[in-house]
Amino acid sequence: MGDAFVIHIVDDAEASRLSLASALGTSHTVESFETAEDCLARLETVMPDLFLLDVDLPGMNGFELCQRIRQHPEGATTPVIFISALDDLDSRIEGYEVGGTDFVVKPYKMAEIKQKVEVAKRIIEQESLLHLKAAEASSMVSTILISIGEYAGLINFLRELNTCHDHRTVAQSFLSLLGSYGLDGVIQLRDDNKIRTYSPKGDDRPLEIAVIHKVRKMGRIFEFKTHGAYNYERTTILINNMPVEDRDLCGRIRDNLAIAAESIDAKLEAISASDTIQRLQRERSQAAENRTQSGIGHVLKDLSTTLDGFNRKYALARQRGTTLSVSLQAELLSSFAYLGLSADQEASVLSLVHEKTDELVNLYDFSEEMRATLTALSAKLEGML
C-alpha cells in the first residue's frame, strides 16, 4: 500500500456504494464491490487499510467475508466496520466473534461513518507508530546486548591483563580479544631493551614489522580502508579487517581497541618499572653479598695471621719454660752440696721439682685445642664464601 488510506466498500446496493464512495473518496482512496467474492478476488493484489462491509450480501454475507479476510496473511488486523439493518445483540456478538472492529446500524448518518473511519485511521496510525517504536526498541536492545558482549570481552581482557607479567602473555591475551571480535591484527610491544611483534601467524614477521614501522608515524589513531592503527609510546596495534560497513559496530570496536591499547601501554610501563626495581634489588643484594664475602675474606686473613702468630708465640713460650725448668734443676743440684742432703733426698727433691715443672708447662699446653677451634671457624667462613 502507498501513502493514501485505502477503503474497500462491499454493498450489494449500488446507491449505498455510490453514496459512501462519494462521501469518503474526497480524502481517501475508495474501491467498491457488489459481492464478497469480488472483494476477495481484489485482495489477491491489494489489501486495503479498512473495510466497510454490508452484512446482508447475496451469496457470502459480511460475517463470512470478515472470516475470510482474517485468514488472509495481511488481513489479520485490518479494521472491519459492519453495516447492518439488524440492531439485535446476536448480530453484534456474531460480528465481534468473526473479528469485526465496529458496527453501524442502518439507517446511518454519513457523519457517523466518517467519524468511525477517522477513528479507525487514527488507531492504525498509532499502531503503526507503536510498531515502529517497538522495532526501534528491539533494534536498540539488540545493539545494547551486542555492546554488552563486546564490553564483556574488553572487561575480561583487562582482568587478564592484570595477571600478565611479560610481553608474550600480554600479546596473547590481546590477540584473544581480537579473535572474540572476529578481527585479524598485529600487536607490537616495545621497551628500553627490545621490540617484539606478535600476530596469530607468528612472531616478528618482517613484513608486519615494516608496516608497523610506517604506521607508527601516522598519529595516535590512523585508518585506511579496512585497516586501523593505534599508536602509543610502548604499543602499536594494527587491525586488517575493521568492519567499516557497519559504522556503529566499527565505532564501538574503535573505542574498545583504544581503551585496550592504552591499558596495554600502562601495563608495559608497570612491567618495565617492576623489572627495574627487581634489577636494583638484585644489584643491591649482590653488592651486599660482595661486601659480606670481602669482609669474611678479611676475617679469614686476620684469623690465619693470628693463628700463625699464636703458634710461634706458644712454641717460644714452651721452649723458654723448658729452659727455665732445666736451669732450676741445675741450680737445685748445685745447692744440694750446702744442704747436707742424702742421695735419696736429693733424688726425691729433683723428682718432685721435675714433676711439678712439667705439670706447670703442660697446664698451659692448649695449643692443639685452640688450633682445632680456629681451624673449624676458618672452614665455616670459607664455606660462606
Q: What is the pLDDT of residue 277?
A: 76
**Would you place residue 369 in the very low, low, confident or very high pLDDT band (cuts 50, 70, 90)?**
low
Please tell me the pTM assigned to this model: 0.46
Confidence check: pLDDT of 365 > 90: no
Of all residues in the chain, the percent with pLDDT exceeding 90 is 36
Q: Residue 322: helix, strand or coil by DSSP?
A: helix
Confidence check: pLDDT of 307 > 60: yes
Q: Residue 127: helix, strand or coil by DSSP?
A: helix
Q: What is the pLDDT of residue 65?
A: 95
Of 189, 191, 168, residue with least CA distance to 238: 189
> Out of 51-60, 194-203, 205-214, 216-225, which region has the weakest mean confidence (pLDDT)?
216-225
How confident is the model over 77-88, as a mean pLDDT? Answer: 91
Q: pLDDT tens for residues 5-43? A: 999 999 999 999 999 999 999 999 999 999 999 999 999
Q: What is the pLDDT of residue 366?
A: 55
Strand ranges of the sheet holding 50-54, from the earlier edge strand across to the other edge:
29-33, 6-10, 50-54, 80-84, 102-105
Confidence check: pLDDT of 165 > 70: yes
Average pLDDT, the chain: 83
Angle between helices 247-339 and 110-163 (to 10 degrees): 20
Provide the b/e sequence for 108-130 (b: ≥16 CB within 10 Å): eeeeebeebbeebbeebeeeeee
Q: What is the pLDDT of residue 109?
A: 92
In this predicted model, which residue has the larger pLDDT, 279 or 198? 198
Confidence check: pLDDT of 360 > 70: no
- The C-alpha cell at 116 is 468511525
Confidence check: pLDDT of 79 > 80: yes
Q: Is 10 exposed, middle or buried, given 0-12, 13-18 or 19+ CB atoms closer than 10 A? A: buried
> Out of 15-19, 256-260, 299-303, which region has the weakest mean confidence (pLDDT)?
299-303
How confident is the model over 124-129, as a mean pLDDT? Answer: 87
Are residues 204 and 196 in contact, defined by beta-carbon separation less than 8 angstroms?
yes
Q: What is the pLDDT of residue 19?
A: 93
Confidence check: pLDDT of 1 > 50: no
Q: What is the pLDDT of residue 248?
A: 86
Confidence check: pLDDT of 268 > 90: no
Q: Which alpha helices (DSSP H) does the chain contain, by range? A: 14-24, 36-42, 62-71, 89-97, 110-163, 167-180, 206-215, 247-339, 343-363, 367-384
Confidence check: pLDDT of 2 > 70: no
